[in-house]
Amino acid sequence: MRVLNIILNGKAVTAREGQTILELAQENGVFIPTLCHSPALEPAAMCRLCTVQVIEGGRAKFVTACNFPLRRDAEIRTDSPEVRHGRKLIIELLMARCPSSPELQRLAVEYEADLTRFSSLNDDCVVCGLCTRACEAVTGKTLSLAGRGTAIHVSTAFAKISDFCIGCGACVQICPVQKISMEDVDGERHILLHGKIVSQVKLPRCKSCGKYFGPVIDLEKVMDRMGEHLIPPPNADTCPECSRHNLAVKLGKRYFEQYGVFREEGQADAG
Amino acid sequence: MIEATQTALTPSEVTKIMSTEALAEYRQKLQAQYDPNAPMIYVCCGTGCQAAGSVDVVEKFREILVGSAWDGKVVPMIKPTGCHGFCSRGPLVIIEPQDIFYQRVTVNDVQEIVEKTVLNNELIKRLQYKSAGAKESITKASEIPYYAKQTRLVLKNIGRVNPTEIGDSIIRNGYAALAKALTQMTPQQVIDEVSSSKLRGRGGAGFPTGLKWESCAKQEGLRYVICNADEGDPGAFMDRSLLEGDPHSVLEGMAICAYAVGSHRGYMYVRAEYPLAVKTLTTAIRQAEALGLLGKNIMGTGFDFEVTISTGAGAFICGESSALMASLEGKVGRPRPKYIRSVEKGFRDSPSNLNNVETYANIPSIIANGGNWYKSYGTERSSGTKVFALTGNVFNIGLVEVPMGISLMEIVFGIGGGVPNKRALKGVQTGGPSGGCIPIPHKIPDINVGYGKLAEVGSIMGSGGMIVMDEDTCMVEVARYFVNFLVEESCGQCTPCREGLTRMKEILDRITQGDGREGDIELLEEIGKFTNNFSLCGLGTSAANPVLSTIRYFREEYEAHIRDKKCPAGVCKKLFHYEIDPDICTGCGLCKSKCPVKAISGEKKKVHVIDQSLCMKCMECYKNCKFRSVKIM
Ligand SMILES: Cc1cc2nc3c(=O)[nH]c(=O)nc-3n(C[C@H](O)[C@H](O)[C@H](O)COP(=O)(O)O)c2cc1C
Ligand code: SF4
Ligand code: FES
A27, pLDDT greater than 70: yes
Answer yes or no: is B113 within a domain. Answer: yes
Same domain, residue pair B319 and B395: no
Q: In what order do the strands lie in the sheet with B352-356?
A: B306-311, B265-270, B224-229, B352-356
pLDDT of B379 higher than 90: yes
* Residue B268 contacts residue B186 (beta carbons within 8 Å): no
Domain end among B450, B470, B490? B470
B484 shares a domain with B465:
no
Spell out which residues line ligand 3, taking CB within 6 angstroms: A 34-37, 45-50, 64, 66
CB–CB of B616/B597 below 8 Å?
A: yes
- Beta bridge partners, A199, equal A191
Q: Residues B323-340, buried b or exposed e (16+ Cβ, 10 A)? A: bbbbbbeeebbbbbbbee
Separation of CA A91 and ligand 3 centre (Å): 13
Which pLDDT band holds residue A270 (cuts at 50, 70, 90)? very low
Kindly indicate the confidence band of residue A254, based on its pLDDT and cuts at 50, 70 and 90. confident
**Residue B439 placed within a domain:** yes
Residue where a domain terminates, one of B125, B143, B161:
B143
With a cut of 90, say whether residue B71 has pLDDT above it: no
Looking at residue A267, what is its pLDDT? 45
Give the range with max mean pLDDT: A8-22, A112-126, B327-341, B594-608: A8-22
The Cα–Cα gap between B16 and B289 comes to: 9
Number of domains in chain B: 5
Q: Residue A247 belongs to what H/E stretch? A: helix A240-259
Instruction: Output the domain CATH number for residue B177.
Output: 3.40.50.11540
Q: By a Cβ cutoff of 8 Å, what residues of chain B touch chain A? A: 315, 317, 332, 334, 337-340, 487-496, 498-503, 506, 523, 526-527, 530, 533-536
The domain made up of A130-202 is a member of CATH 2.60.40: no
Domain endpoint, select from B102, B128, B143: B143
Neighboring chain A residues of B490 at a CB cutoff of 8 Å: 148-150
Read off the pLDDT of each residue in B25-42 and give the average, rounded to a whole number.
88
- Judged by its nearest atom, the ligand closest to the C-alpha of residue B535 is 2
Rounded to an integer, what distance in angstroms lies between the CA atom of residue B521 and that of residue B508? 9
Range A218-241 burial, b when 16+ CB lie within 10 A, else e: bbeeeeeeeeeeeeeeebeebbee
Burial of A176 (0-12, 13-18, 19+ CB in 10 A): buried
Q: What is the pLDDT of residue B439?
A: 96
Average pLDDT, integer, range B35-56: 88
Q: Are residues B543 and B594 in the same domain?
A: no
Contact B435, B391 (CB under 8 A): no
pTM for this predicted structure:
0.90
The predicted pLDDT at position A219 comes to 52
Query: What is the arithmetic mean of pLDDT over A160-167?
Result: 85
**B311 and B182 within one domain:** yes
Judged against a pLDDT cut of 60, whether residue A266 lies above it is answered with no
Reported as a pLDDT band with limits 50, 70 and 90, residue A231 is very low
Per-residue pLDDT tens over the stretch B433-458 = 999 999 999 999 999 999 999 999 99
Q: What pLDDT, on the 0 to 100 scale, is given for residue B431? A: 94
Radius of gyration over alpha carbons of chain B, in Å? 27
| pLDDT reported for residue A255 | 73
Q: Based on the domain organization, do B113 and B53 belong to the same domain? A: yes
DSSP string, B527-574: HHHHHHHH-SSHHHHHTTHHHHHHHHHHHHHHHHHHTS---TTS-SGG
| Containing structural domain, residue B410 | 385-470
B552-585 burial, b at 16+ Cβ within 10 Å, e below that, comes to ebbeebbebbbeeebbbbbbbeebbebebeeeeb
Tell me phi and psi for residue B269, to 5 degrees: -100, 100
pLDDT tens sequence across B273-326: 999 999 999 999 999 999 999 999 999 999 999 999 999 877 899 999 999 999
Q: What is the ipTM of this complex?
A: 0.88
- CA of B85: how far to CAs of B47, B121, B229, B238, B333, in Å? 10, 26, 17, 8, 30
Residues B327 and B193 in one domain: yes
B160 lies in some domain:
no
Residue B69 phi/psi, 5-degree rounding, is: -80, 135
* pLDDT for the residue B406: 96
Choose the residue to mutate in B250, B270, B320, B324 for probing ligand 1, maximizing ligand atoms within 8 Å of C-beta. B320
**CA angle (A91, A94, A97) in 5-degree steps:** 150
* Closest-CA distance of chain A to residue B316, Å: 11
* CA dist B320 → A68, B205, B224, B231, B310 (Å): 20, 10, 17, 10, 15
Q: Which residues pair with B601 in a beta bridge?
A: B609
| Residue A41 CB-half CA count within 13 A | 22
Mean pLDDT of chain B: 92
Q: Best mutation site among A36, A87, A90, A177 for ligand 3, i.e. most ligand atoms within 8 A of its Cβ?
A: A36
CA B404 to mean position of chain CA atoms: 15
Mean pLDDT over residues A201-217, rounded? 79
Query: Does B120 score more than 60 pLDDT?
Result: yes
B293 secondary structure, DSSP code:
S
Give a yes or no: residue B309 inside a domain: yes
Residues 6 or more apart whose Cβ sits within 8 Å of residue B310:
B267, B268, B269, B270, B328
Distance from CA of A26 to the nearest CA of B (A): 20
Predicted confidence (pLDDT) at residue A257 exceeds the cutoff of 80? no
Co-location of B443 and B362 in the same domain: no
**CA B141 to centroid of chain Cα atoms:** 20
According to the model, what pLDDT value does residue B3 have? 40
pLDDT above 90 for A234: no
B206 CA closest ligand 1 atom index? 27
Report the DSSP pairing between strands A188-193 and A196-202: antiparallel
User: Cβ of A62 and B533 within 8 Å?
Assistant: yes
Domain membership flag for residue B151: no
pLDDT in the model for residue B6: 43
Q: Which helix (H) or strand (E) is A10 found in, with range?
A: none
Distance B536 CA to ligand 2 centre (A): 6
Q: How far apart are CA A91 and CA A85, in angstroms?
A: 10
Task: Write down the pLDDT at residue B544.
Answer: 96
- Residue B100, domain CATH: 3.40.30.10
CA pair distance B468, B449, nearest whole angstrom: 14
Give Cα B516 distance to the centre of its chain. 36
DSSP A254: H
Q: How distant is the Cα of B542 from the closest Cα of chain A, in angstroms? A: 14
CB B257 within 8 A of CB B367: no
Look at phi and psi of residue B173 and say left if phi exceeds 0, alpha if psi is from -120 to 50, else beta: left
What is the DSSP-derived secondary structure letter of residue A30? -
Domain A3-110 grouped into CATH 3.10.20.740? yes
Residue of chain B whose Cα is closest to the Cα of A129 = B493
- Residue of B195, B197, B207, B228 with the most ligand 1 atoms within 8 Å of its CB, for mutation: B228
User: Which residues are CB-contacts of B32 (< 8 A; sequence separation ≥ 6)?
Assistant: none
CATH number of the domain enclosing B605 = 3.30.70.20
Per-residue b or e along B461-484, where b marks 16 or more CB atoms closer than 10 Å to that residue's CB: bbbbbbbbbbebbbbbbbbbbbbb
- The C-alpha angle with vertex A168 and arms to A167 and A173, in degrees rounded to 5, equals 120
Same domain, B370 and B389: no
Nearest CA to ligand 3 atom 1: A34
Give Cα A264 distance to the centre of its chain: 42
For residue range A42-82, what is the model confidence (pLDDT) as tens digits? 999 999 999 999 998 888 999 999 999 999 999 999 999 99
B231 and B276 share one domain: yes
Question: Are residues B115 and B81 located together in one domain of the fold?
Answer: yes
Q: What is the pLDDT of residue A236?
A: 66
- pLDDT grade, residue B5 (50/70/90)? very low
Picking from B339, B483, B535 by the largest number of A CB atoms within 10 A of its own CB, the best residue to mutate is B339
So what's the pLDDT on residue A164? 82
Amino acid at A81: P
Domain boundaries, chain A: 3-110, 130-202, 206-271
Contact B495 A127 (CB under 8 A): yes
- Domain membership flag for residue B453: yes
Which residue puts its alpha carbon closest to atom 4 of ligand 2? Answer: B537
Could you tell me if residue B243 is inside a domain?
Answer: yes
B480 in the same domain as B466: no
pLDDT band at residue B4 under the 50/70/90 scheme: very low
Nearest ligand 3 atom, CA A128 = 4
Q: Is residue B154 part of a domain?
A: no
